[in-house]
Every structure is written in C-alpha cells, then in structure tokens.
Amino acid sequence: MEWFDNFWAVYSNLVLTLGTNALLALSIYLTLSCGMLAMANAAFMGIGAYTSALVTMNLGLPYPVALAAGMAAPGLMAFIIGKPTLRLSGVYLAMATLAFGEVVRIVVLNAESLTGGALGLNGIPQSTEWWHVGLALLLTVAVLWRLRRSRVGRAFEAIKEDETAAGLMGIDVGAHKMLAFVLGAMIAGLAGTLNAHLTFFIGPNEYGFDRGVDILTMAILGGINSLFGPILGGIMLTVLPELLRGFKDFRLVVNGFILVLIVLFLPKGIWDPARFRQWFSRSSRKGAAA
Amino acid sequence: MLEQQLFNALSLGCVYALFALGFTLIFGVLGVINLSHGAVFMVGAYAAVEAMTLLHLPLWAGLLFSFVFCGVLGLLIDVLVLKPLRARNAPHLIPMIATIGVAIILNNGVQGIFGAQNVRFPSSAVSDDAITLAGLHLTSVELGIILLSFALMAVLIVALKKTQLGRALRAIAESPKAAYLLGINVEGLFYLTSFAAAGLGGVAGVLIGLYSNAVFPLMGQPILHKGIAVIILGGMGDIRGAMLGGLFLGFAEVLSVAYIGSTMRDAVAFGLLFLVLLVRPKGLFGTLQERKV
C-alpha cells in the first residue's frame, strides 16, 4: 500500500476537490432541472464556507454544527432572495443571481472585522476527512435520485418543459422553484463548508463571477439530463488542468480548446442517455438485420 | 469640483458604453451572450500595442489595425465555433459555454506569449497634455473616447434604422427563420455582425488601454462583468440602451466613489443591477416580450 500512501500524500487534495466540485455541479443541476438558470451557487458556496469557518474558528463549536450552519445559512439566504428573484426567467434570472453573487463577494471583502476582508480567513481547522466528502456526495446523489422519481421531481420536469402549462395543470410553480433554489443553495453551502475545512484558507475572490461560470460549465459540459452528467463534468474540469501540466504555460489554452471541442461535438453534454439509447438501438437493429 | 466629477463620470460611462456596443450587437442579432468579448477586447489592445511599437504606426493606424485584426478574430470565432452550433440547433446555453472556452484560449494564449505583466503603448502615441476648459481638466484620450463612442453609437443607430442592411439585421433579431424565408442572407449578416462587433471590441480595448494606461492578459474580465451589467441595465440587444446603460453605470460609480467611498465602487454596478432587475425585470430602458398563452 506504499504507492497508495504516496499517491494520497500528493493528490488527496485534488481527489477531495473532485468531490466538492461534483457537489457544486449537482447544486446547479438541481435548479437547471427545474428550468431556472440561477447562477448564485458560487455565492452560496462562499456563504456556507464563511459561516462554517466562523462557527469553528470564532465559536469553537464542533464540525457537525459547522456543517449544519454552512448549509442552513445559504439556504436561508436563498429563501430570502428567492421570493423577488425567481419571478425573473432566462438570462435575466442568471444576471440577477450573478449580480447578487458579486454583491456578496464585495460585502465579504468590506466586512473586514468579521471576514478578514481581502486577506480572507486563515487557519481554518482541517476537519474534512475523505469519507466526509464521499458520504456527502453519496447522500446528495441519493436525495436527488429519490427526488427525480417523486411527485416533486416530475413537477420540476413539467416546469422545465413549459412553465405556463405546468401552472395550468395545478402545479404550484413558485413553491417548486423556491424548493429547487433553496435545496441547490444548501448543496452549494455543503460543498463550501467541506472545501473550507479542507484548504485551511478561504478568500472572497474564490467565490466570484468566474467560479459561478465554472460551476455552470461543469454541469453543462457533463450533461444535465441525468445525475451522473454533472458529476462527470465536475471531475473532468478538475482533472483536466492537472493532466495538461506538460503543456506548461499553454496548458489552459489546451484546456480551452478541449472545452470548445466537447461543446461542438457533444452539445448535449458528455453524458447523454438519449444518445446512448440511440447508439444501442441502432446497433441492435443492425444486429437484427444481420 | 462637481463638474470635474461629472466629466469623469461621462468618460467612464463612455468607456463602458464602447465595450457594450459590440457586446449588445452580438446578443441582439445572434442571440448569444458572447463571454469571449472581453478576451477579444484584450486582444485588440495587444494588437494595437504591438503594431504601434514594432511598426511605429500612429494611433489612428493602430486603431484601424486593431479593428481589422479583432474583426477577423470575431469572424473566425463565428465560423469555427458559433456556426457549427447554429447548424446543429444547440440548446441555448451551449453557445455561451463555447465562448467561455474561447475566452480561456485567448486569455491564456496571450499570457503564454506576452507574459502576465503590463505592457504599455509607446509614450509618443498620444499627447498627455490636459486641455483646460472652463475649469475642467480634459485629456485627449478622454475626449477621444467620448467623441468616438457617441459617433459609433450614432452610426450604428442610423445604420440599423435607416438602411436596408439595418432592416435586414432587425428582421433577423426578430426571427432568423422568418428573415431567411424573406430572402435575407442570414448567415452572411451573422458573419458581418461578428466581424463588426469584435472590431468594435478591439477598438474599445485600445481606447481603454490608453485610458487606464495598462494592457494585460486579464484586462477584459472586469469590463466583461461590467458590460453584462450595462447591457442588462440598458435592455438586452438595444444599441441606445447600451449607451444609456454605460453612462448610467459610469455616473453611478463615480458619484458613489465621491459620496460613499471607493471601497464599494464595484458593489454599485451589481447592486444596482440586482435592484433594477427586481423592480424592472426588462432592464431600465428595455422592453420585455411577454409570453402569451
């Protein structure tokens, strides 16, 4: 097991980041599956990270309390801003949520006495074990899986397909959207909490515009027609820059090219069950003909 | 003192408007939120710096070079990335994600070639004499930005309103399919729009590079974020709106720095955007198409 110890010593952070990024991709998948392009997940992640870090550092409370607080705070925030923002749709919702994210970042930047301002928070206890991340991911997937198959999940799908029609069928569109938004915020907060207690340090700029766009890219690239797609996208976007280290200064250029190529050739995401079905049915038809 | 602040706000607002013109043009005609516009803007600044340093071109030639260079770059992005996605009827978020990839390529490519440090325009490029007019300090760059952005806006508005080309573009903005059935060369106009919008982005890059005297690989990102705020404030895809939104943001920022303090300057843009969207979902000057059942 010596090779494993070596591997773990070098790459444990990367492996655990895979887990938190997969969680983030799932958090935006949830709102997308309800037909909302909400891009405040980076901000919710930041709110979770800061809340939980302050709970463990300033209040000295145990880690489970921090986890709960790190999920509750963004959930509450989502509930508060959800009422006015979720009336918006499409690009306008995306922009309002992105703008909210920037406001959060700048408030964090300016609330120096509490958040350390631009210097961030240093010395967060490294309480996150590998199995915390694994368990969090597993539980999230289980909950979302169950949700997809439930009445609520079918309502999400109906809203995504056609909001007006869903409303006419008697689905409470506002409440379902709010549920998706708040749950998504809580998952993002969970990812932020796990991540903050992994990296020792957090700063406001980690949760800005670019992170928000990154999270969306992971989900879209992986494919948002199934639960596995966003996870795959999160893993891809985390591992890819590491694999490309050989390209030195130009590794992100190659990274960008790969992104564009994936989008061009697999516009529905890497993991697209419909395409797989098509492949299988085609091959089976061929088999029948032969 | 207030007059000077207002003048600064005017030039800052024109800076934002200049960037937003191309950005909103692409959205209006192609329906794509082009997140590579910030990177194209940066490439424009670099193109002019290199042309003016290596070939000793004067500023006007640098601007022209940058316009053509970025125009061709925009055309390439359209032909290689956006056109195949149009042909495949990709879902509406997909082109935006593709342009993120393009922005990553451009930003990091330029950083790989020229390094992350600041480059500057040759010092002889513009005279830095300030003109004093009625107690106001105006630099030639600021005057140039203000005049050029208003001129470009006027040209674009007249072109869109009064010419056959403009009517065709507006028809495409309404519905590409219907425009095609009317015999409009939709693909050709998409190319033209990509070329012009990217060229405008390049020119904006040069002017803003001169204005802040700093050209660096990530210079496009902050202005991209502001640009998004501007075109939402102004109403998406609306040329006049881009101008008004830019000016509005410029005034809001400068006045908030003057009266609230500089730390919250960036919060102003996005705080305003957030509030405006809550009160007027279609933006300050835009109109929203309500879906009819």
Least confident of A73-77, A128-132, B260-264: B260-264
- Cβ of residue A103 closer than 8 Å to a chain B Cβ: yes
Residue A187 above 90 pLDDT? yes
CA gyration radius, chain B: 19
Residue B95 lies in a domain: yes
The tokens describing B173, both together, are: 């903005």
pLDDT digits (tens, 9 = 90+) for B189-248: 999 999 999 999 999 999 889 888 889 998 998 889 888 888 888 877 778 888 888 898
Q: How far is B181 from chain A (nearest CA, A)?
A: 27
- For chain B, what is the domain count? 1
Residue B287 lies in a domain: no
Residue B292 above 50 pLDDT? no
Dist CA A207 CA A204 (whole Å)? 6
What is the pLDDT confidence band of residue B287, given thresholds at 50, 70 and 90?
low
Range of the domain at B270: 2-279
Q: How far is B18 from chain A (nearest CA, A)?
A: 20
Contacts of A284 (CB under 8 A, 6+ apart): none
CATH number reported for the structural domain that contains residue A196 in this entry: 1.10.3470
What is the pLDDT confidence band of residue B293, given thresholds at 50, 70 and 90?
very low
Cα dist from B130 to B145, B161, B214, whole Å: 14, 37, 19
CB atoms within 10 A of CB B158: 11
Separation of first and last alpha carbons in chain B:
54
| pLDDT for residue B291 | 43
- Cβ of residue B169 closer than 8 Å to a chain A Cβ: no
Whether the full predicted model's pTM is greater than 0.95, yes or no, is no
User: Phi-psi region for residue B235, left (φ > 0), alpha (ψ -120 to 50) or beta?
Assistant: left
Residue A132 lies in a domain: yes
Dist CA B249 CA B266 (whole Å)? 10
- Cβ of residue B131 closer than 8 Å to a chain A Cβ: no
Partner-chain residue, chosen from B91, B104, B232, that has the shortest CB–CB distance to A259: B104
Best of B97, B231, B262 to disrupt the A interface by mutation (most A CBs within 10 Å)? Answer: B97
Residue B265 lies in a domain: yes
Range of the domain at A222: 9-289
Do B100 and A209 count as a contact with CB atoms less than 8 A apart?
no
CB atoms within 10 A of CB A22: 26
Dist CA A41 CA A20 (whole Å)? 13
Dist CA B287 CA B237 (whole Å)? 10
Residue B187 lies in a domain: yes
- For chain A, what is the domain count? 1
Residue A86 lies in a domain: yes
Q: How far is B58 from chain A (nearest CA, A)?
A: 32
| pLDDT for residue A241 | 84
- Cβ of residue B223 closer than 8 Å to a chain A Cβ: no
Report the pLDDT averaged over residues A259-280: 84
Residue B241 lies in a domain: yes
| pLDDT for residue A42 | 94
Residue ranges in A124-162 assigned as alpha helix (H): 130-148, 151-161
Residue A109 lies in a domain: yes
| pLDDT for residue A290 | 46
Q: What is the mean pLDDT of chain B?
A: 85
Residue A1 lies in a domain: no
Residue indicated by tokens 């990530």: B218
Residue, of A155 and B290, whose pLDDT is higher: A155
Do A267 and B101 count as a contact with CB atoms less than 8 A apart?
no
Q: How far is A17 from chain B (nearest CA, A)?
A: 21
CATH number reported for the structural domain that contains residue B258 in this entry: 1.10.3470
Distance of CA B46 to the CA centre of its chain: 16
Residues of A in contact with B30 (CB under 8 A): none
